[in-house]
Chain A
């Protein structure tokens, strides 16, 4: 957590409308502006102990226009999408989806901290875009070869067990109409890039 003093209200802060930006980029109606800072989310979170900021604190930062600090927080990357907070939130904020939004914004702004999480997501997405199906063996080997070649041996027994039990294919499966999927995703990326 930052040791700097809390920023005073600054009407020239270019990120005053950050809350609106996050809300607009979230699937569904995020209801993030309805947050009453009750803290039920953090109190319900099984991984809060690992987080830089509890969800409540993170949402306060978003509201305060602390764009860079919010996008550097590890909180969205530690969220396990268990939806405990979502069903307990008295304001029905789509908390898990806001976390996804903050992740994608952090990737785009290249603001996430040194972490394997963003790259795991992107490697997964790369596999899906290439084959149309997920591909665990490729995902695991590529992820580890690229980032932690030294940790790969520790993973081998588990991977070997999965292969031995006929639960992990060493070659990917592909969908038939990969061309169609690729056209759809290419168009979706253009749409995403539009303001």
Chain B
């Protein structure tokens, strides 16, 4: 029996977190989870838009909610794999109920695009919540053919999934055990990771790198102190900061951490016996090859920095455009 959900991937799943996306799709096949992508969804605004202008930020999120509600066919649950997307969708839905005037404004804006959203008509949930609480760990366990025996995993949730938690879905705001229990079900050795919901630095890697490096250093140090082989994440931003900026962090502090940062869905896929090539391994900057090799799982080597795509015919520099630049010629 398959269960159906509306799926909001979010921008990262197509780019920085492509390993999350491909491994999730594989895992869904095993678990018979039918994720129906919301047609023509737009960016959620991340943590940036709300700090610029309130009504447009919530209207941006509102368009996604309106499109999802329109598409809802037998299901009212929207699943988001990204922490920031999950929080933004959940927050907009919650605040439009808490303060109806916000909902009125958002709907006045949505009307300009012939859309409407009734706050509370959808349920917004994070992917981990759906896997642990709907699919259930018994079912997950029943699919494990290649237990992750001997792999020491640091379960890392970051901030925006367990907090602020408007609907009280998580076991704890600071020390939730959902990810630990899931990894246990996969046969992994789960370390007691005290910083499991501490911040990865968020957008500070872009605007105040030294602040971010310190956040990243603490997480790596703690995981290393507990002899973790890999860290399991559930957020594209956390994965990107800890993986892509691990080298910079090492240079900044003179440390030499080499901790592979994986998505929990990649580890699920391995435990389900899916070929690691189909799970996005090799996309990580800090290679997981050695760590996974120690438990006998062969993963592809990191993709070599050779040109992988044929050169584009367009010779212009890919200079980004923004509102306020001259209008684009279609």
Identify the A interface with B (CB < 8 A).
25-29, 46-47, 50, 76-78, 80-84, 86-87, 96-97, 99-101, 103-104, 107, 115-117, 120-130, 132-143, 157-158, 160-162, 164-173, 175-177, 180-181, 183-189, 191-192
Contact = CB atoms under 8 A, between A and B. Distances in A.
B221 interface: no
Contacts of A161: 244, 285, 305
Interface of B: 11-12, 14-18, 40-43, 45-56, 58-60, 62-63, 91, 94-95, 98-99, 102, 105-106, 108-115, 159-160, 163-165, 173-174, 198-199, 201-204, 206-208, 211, 215, 244-245, 247-248, 282-285, 302-306, 308, 312, 318-325
Nearest to A160: B305
B284 to A, nearest CB: 7
B116 to A, nearest CB: 11
Contacts of A25: 54
A126 to B, nearest CB: 3
Contacts of B113: 177, 180-181, 183-184
B53 A120 contact: no
A171 B305 CA distance: 18
Contact of B322 (A96, A100, A142): A142
19 contacts: A46-B198, A47-B211, A81-B159, A82-B163, A86-B164, A104-B50, A104-B52, A124-B46, A125-B53, A127-B320, A128-B43, A130-B323, A140-B206, A142-B320, A143-B206, A158-B248, A183-B113, A184-B110, A188-B105
Contact of A139 (B58, B95, B173, B320): B320
Contacts of B319: 141-142
B320 A141 contact: yes
Contact of B42 (A97, A117, A123, A128): A128
A191 B108 contact: yes
A84 B45 contact: no
A175 B164 contact: no
Nearest to B324: A126
Contacts of A80: 159, 199, 201-204, 211, 215
Given A50-B208, A141-B320, A186-B112, A134 B284 contact: no
B56 A185 contact: yes
Contacts, number: 239
A166 B308 contact: yes
Contacts of B98: 28-29
Report which residue of A77, A127, A158, A165 has the largest number of chain B beta carbons within 10 angstroms of its beta carbon.
Answer: A165
B164 to A, nearest CB: 5
Given A124-B46, A184-B115, A188-B60, 13 more contacts: A28-B95, A46-B198, A47-B204, A82-B198, A83-B164, A104-B51, A160-B305, A162-B285, A173-B14, A175-B41, A183-B112, A187-B109, A192-B56
Given A128-B43, A164-B308, A171 B323 contact: no
A172 B50 contact: no
Contact of A162 (B16, B51, B163): B16
B43 to A, nearest CB: 5
Given A140-B206, A192-B53, A175 B42 contact: yes
B160 A27 contact: no
Report which residue of A86, A122, A188 has the largest number of chain B beta carbons within 10 angstroms of its beta carbon.
Answer: A188
Given A128-B45, A158-B248, A185 B60 contact: yes
Contact of B109 (A138, A173, A188): A188
A176 to B, nearest CB: 5
